[in-house]
Chain A
Amino acid sequence: GAVVSQHPSRVICKSGTSVKIECRSLDFQATTMFWYRQFPKQSLMLMATSNEGSKATYEQGVEKDKFLINHASLTLSTLTVTSAHPEDSSFYICSASYLGVTETQYFGPGTRLLVL
């Protein structure tokens, strides 16, 4: 149980385009989903927290207009990287929690984004 999927697993796009990443909880209802970013050979940084049906809460330094997060249902959250640039290339990982807290989050497999 407690499986979280992400789609796509890898994406390559041109600079200036937008990319949407989906995060789904497959066998439970996720009241909260978290989005993380991992640079090569570095740790993960929490970008934002999204609660179903409300606006996402962004961590300090994360541009909310650049990284649009939508959590429209209890099983789906999306992260859209708008007008992507090469510096946005990274590994994006989502997690989902049925209790709304990080102590009970389950991680997705990640999406590798490369912006050319």
Chain B
Amino acid sequence: GNSVTQMEGPVTLSEEAFLTINCTYTATGYPSLFWYVQYPGEGLQLLLKATKADDKGSNKGFEATYRKETTSFHLEKGSVQVSDSAVYFCALGYGQNFVFGPGTRLSVLP
């Protein structure tokens, strides 16, 4: 079946540090891959997505590349801000199947 694995959190960084949150997946077929962000007490916001191998999704300084050979979709940002503190979910979607990873909590300290 389909599944998504993310690095365990919480992740605590200082402002302007480099961020990587690892995400790997197992899937049948060729899913689309997503990163969602959830701020405290709020719903989900789509951060970025990639629909096929080697696609790079990017938004608000965040990037992730769909790597079919390593079944990965790692999230990166060159310089995090305090406002990036949130929970980040990696997910895969294929038709009417959608699977979220467990989420990684990020705290950015000033």
B102 surroundings in chain A (CB, below 8 A): 42-43
Chain B interfacial positions (CB closer than 8 Å to A): 32, 36, 42-46, 49, 51, 89, 93-103
Question: CB < 8 Å: which of A6, A43, A100, A109 contacts B103?
Answer: A43
B42 surroundings in chain A (CB, below 8 A): 109-110
Q: With A42-B103, A43-B103 as given contacts, are A101 and B46 in contact (CB-CB < 8 Å)?
A: no
- Of chain A, the residue at the smallest CB distance from B105 is A41
B89 surroundings in chain A (CB, below 8 A): 43-44
A110 surroundings in chain B (CB, below 8 A): 42-44
With an 8 Å Cβ cutoff, the count of chain A residues facing the other chain is: 21
- Cβ of B96 and Cβ of A101 under 8 Å apart? yes
- Cβ of B96 and Cβ of A32 under 8 Å apart? yes
Most buried by B among A44, A45, A100: A44
- Cβ of B46 and Cβ of A102 under 8 Å apart? no
Question: In the complex, A32→B95 CA distance in Å?
Answer: 11
Q: How far is the CB of A60 from chain B (nearest CB, A)?
A: 11
Question: CB < 8 Å: which of A44, A101, A109 contacts B95?
Answer: A101
Q: With A44-B89, A49-B96 as given contacts, are A103 and B32 in contact (CB-CB < 8 Å)?
A: yes
